Structures are given as C-alpha cells and as structure tokens.
Amino acid sequence: MLRSFYSIILVCVTSAALFAQFDDTQRTGGYARLLGMGNNPYVVDPYFTAVNPAWASIYSNFLWGDLGSQQTPWGNDGVGQFAGFNFRVNRNITFGGILSRNDFQGLSISSLAPANTLVNDMNQAGPRVISLNNNLELIGAFRLGNAILGVGVAYASSVNDVNPPQGNSSEGSASQLGLNVGILTKLGPIVLDAGASIILPGATYSPGTGGETDYSGTVIGVFGRAFIRSTSRLQLVPAVGFISTSGSYDIPNAPTGDFPSSTTIAVGFGINYQVGDDILIAGGPGLRIESTTEPEVDGLTPELTESSFIFPIWNLGAEWKFADWIIGRLGYTASTGQNTEEEKFDMNRVTENVTTFYGVSGVTVGLGFRFGETFSLDATVNEDVLRQGLANIGGNGPTFAYLSASLAF
C-alpha cells in the first residue's frame, strides 16, 4: 500500500514537471515563423499540431491559421490559407480542428495532395472527377499521467453525378480519409514528441456503359523529435521522419496495376540555444534519402527506379526580441544531393544515370508582431524590401511573403 502511494506521488511529480515545461511555451507562431527561421524543424511551434495532435493540449484556447502568400497570377486568393482552433474542455481534455484547402503547406492528414494526385491522373482522359477541397480535421488531446495523447481524423469527398435526359448517366467520386495519433511525454531529461499518420485517398469513375475505373492509395508517415536538455540554455534536438506511399489502379479491360511506390527517410540533428528570454538560436544539419520505383509494364517499359541522397541539408535560424511587441528572425537553408536513375530491363541490362543537384538555398527573413497578450501576426519578409532601401517609399512590391496569425485566450 505504501509502495503504491509513493508510485502515485512519483507519477504526479513527473507529470507536473512535464506540463510545467510545456505550459511555459508561448502560444504564438505558425508556418511563417518556421519559414523565417530557415524552414526550421527543430523548434516548438503550433504548426506541429498538424503532425502530432497532442500539441493541441499545449496550444489550448487558441485560434490560429495562415493568411498565406500573395495572390498568384492565376488568381489564387492567398496560397496556403487555413484556419484552426483548440478549445480546452478541462485541464485534461482539449478538442480542436483544422479546416484546410487543397494548398495546405506540408504533408499531414490536413493535406489533400494524395487524393488530388490520383484525381489528376484519372482525369488525364478528360474531366470526370472533381478535385478535393475544404478538408476538415477533428482533434482530441488528453493528458494522462506522464503523457499527452492526441488523435486526429480528417475527411473530404467530392461527387460528379451526371444524369442526362437521354440516359447513359455517369458518376465520378473522390475521397480521402486521414487518421493520426501522437504523444508528448517526458523521460528524465528528454521530452519526446512523436506522431504517426495514415492517409487513404481514392477516386472512382463509373460511366454510363462499361466497367468502373478505380484508383486507390496509401500514405504512411512517422515523425519524431527528442528535446534533450543539456544545460539550462542548450537543448539537443534529434529528429527523424519516414513517409511511404503506394497505390493501385483497376481499369476496365486491362490488368490491375500498381502506381509508383516511394519511400522517404529523413534524419536531422539540431539545437535550441536560448539566451535569456530574448534570443533563440536553432537549427542544424540533416540528411534525406528518397526512392521511387515505377513497376515494369510487360513488353512496354522497364522497371524504373529513381533515388536521391541529400546531404547535408542545412536549416539554420535565429529569433530575437526587439521589444515586447516585435520579434526579428533570420534563417538560412541549403542542400546538396545526388540523384540516381536506373532502368532495369532484366538482370543483364541495367542503365544508370547519376547527377548532382542543389536544393533551394539562401537567406530568409521574418518578423513577429505581438499585440498585447493575445493576438500575434508572424510574417516572412520579401528580401527585396531590404535590397530596395529607400525605393520602398512609393514602391509597389509586396513587403511580406507569407503570413500566419494566432489568438490566445
């Protein structure tokens, strides 16, 4: 009985330490903040709620989203816009949601890219299925003992049902179901942040006459980070990621086939170095291995494998507080990789092509505005604004490239 009592006390003390550390997190940020810090994957930010729904408990009583980037020449009204909310029911339960469009930035169950890729492929013969938009993800986060557990579910669908008077009706439909789970927990000096997701996209077309065409796919993702407290100022942040995609198609009067399958493995090692309450330096190197295999079509095309080894990948960033209401950010990104293409006709005939490539690199600049204790606006800055200097007066170029907003209450 006494041993059980001490066990309960230990769990409560450890749990209190976990939540005290998390609850000190400032409830601000978003995708624009990460971009301004060199597309940084090593910092704590509400954006990671899309990957690990357990973060909704830390960012409870919180409205957030992206105003996106400037309009494009073809008329998109702010690329990347979405809205999210997290409401605390009580100390242990938080419910929330994310309403996203088909241009959501990043791969999570809030992204509709898996389903719309299938739809675009199916529509190569003509517009028969409507692309998905307006995806709704519902989130629940629960504090249990020494951990926060999160779960999310998202769904979107479309229908194109044509019933002409003369008959010969047709129906095209598409859907995507996404499920994810996540955990935040403290193991000694280590805070573990881990999430896993599965996305199930599909598209079907039934003509008035003839058989049905069916496309389906599966996307599995795993993401994890560990925040290891080294000193009072320094945290070490190893990070790993894994994504696997596959799919198949069934076309009338043709054999069932497989879509190209792909696997991505990413590993990174960063730091968070805090100087007082005003300066944060974050970032580090990483590597990514990608492989895509397109199966052989008998008598037509050989098996084609394309793989990439990208190292190093640099994501470096810093932010500092100018004043209570404004924060400045700088970042830098760079990567170097090697791409290999291999055509395999049979075991004795293999063609290989190896090339070096360089990813998008350069400096990023950002600003964060704080209006009282509740409203925040984060932005990446168009670097041309800095180069133009006094020419900005009366100029017509955009000042901000991407905007995120949040309201904590």
202: left (phi over 0), alpha (psi -120 to 50) or beta: beta
Question: How far is it between the farthest Cα atoms of the chain?
Answer: 82
304 contacts 293 by C-beta, under 8 angstroms? yes
**What digits encode the pLDDT tens for the residues 33-68?**
999 999 999 999 999 999 999 999 999 999 999 998
Do the Cβ atoms of 65 and 46 come closer than 8 Å? no
Q: 222, 114, 99: which is closest to 176 by C-alpha?
A: 114
- What b/e readout covers 74-89, taking b as 16+ CB neighbours within 10 angstroms? eeeebebbbebbbebe
What is the distance between the alpha carbons of residues 56 and 58, in angstroms, rounded to a whole number? Answer: 5
Mean pLDDT, each 10-residue run in order, the chain (409 residues): 41 48 77 95 96 96 91 60 96 97 92 96 86 97 94 97 80 96 94 98 89 94 96 96 96 86 97 94 98 80 88 97 94 96 68 88 93 92 63 57 94
Identity of the amino acid at 314: W
Say how many domains are in the chain. 1
If phi > 0 it is left, if psi is from -120 to 50 it is alpha, else beta; for residue 188 that is: left
What pLDDT does residue 264 have? 97
Look at residue 208 in the predicted model and tell me its pLDDT. Answer: 76
H or E stretch at 87: strand 82-90
Residue of 313, 314, 319, 316 lying closest to 366 (CA atoms):
319
Q: How far is CA 199 from the centre of its chain?
A: 13
Residue 8 CA, distance from chain mean position? 37
Task: State how far the alpha carbon of 260 is from the alpha carbons of 35, 131, 280, in Å.
Answer: 31, 21, 42
Domain range enclosing 191: 2-408
Q: Is 309 helix (H, G, I), strand (E, B) or coil?
A: strand
Token reading at 222:
């795993």
Count other Cβ atoms within 10 Å, centred on residue 409.
11
Q: Are 243 and 224 in contact (CB under 8 A)?
A: no
pLDDT 10s digits, 362-381? 999 999 999 988 999 999 98
- Beta-sheet pairing, 147-162 with 135-144: antiparallel
| Model pTM score | 0.88
> Residue 69's pLDDT is what?
85
Q: Strand, helix or coil at 27? A: coil
Query: What is residue 389's predicted lDDT score, i.e. its pLDDT?
Result: 53
DSSP symbol at 158: E
